[in-house]
Amino acid sequence: MADRAAQALEHLVTAIDESVAELQRARARAVTLLDERATGRAWYDVVNGEARPLVVESVSSVLSTLAGAGHEWRREQALALQAESVSINRIAAMFGVTRQRISALLRDGDDPTEREA
């Protein structure tokens, strides 16, 4: 059986690397926008001339990607800990969340259709 927690962590590392690269591109575009604004251009002209994806779209996409990969990692990590007979209360303490949150996270992980992604 594959180590699903390790796979989820590898996916998270990849998502972080891709996010860093995307945020660096977004930062460079944001600096360009600031430079354009500093020349006296109206915000409408600055934003209207911005190529897609917009800076705000890039940031939103990165946040969404990281949230999804982070959730997957947290769920698989909790399932792996449970498989090692770590109690729900202990997992909750380790994660800094409530026992109810871990129970819900583990229930989410029990859906085979979700785990086959």
Task: Report cis status (omega within 30 of 0) of the bond before 112.
Answer: no
Domain residue limits, the chain: 4-115
* pTM: predicted TM-score of the whole model, two decimal places: 0.81
Q: In terms of C-beta density within 10 A (0-12 exposed, 13-18 middle, 19 or more buried), how is residue 76 classed?
A: buried
pLDDT digits (tens, 9 = 90+) for 15-58: 999 999 999 999 999 999 999 999 999 999 999 989 999 999 99
Q: In angstroms, rounded to a whole number, what is the distance separating the alpha carbons of residues 66 and 46? A: 29
pLDDT digits (tens, 9 = 90+) for 58-84: 999 999 999 999 999 999 999 999 999
Cβ atoms 19, 65 nearer than 8 A: yes
Q: Which two tokens stand for residue 23?
A: 């945020």
Cβ atoms 106, 79 nearer than 8 A: yes
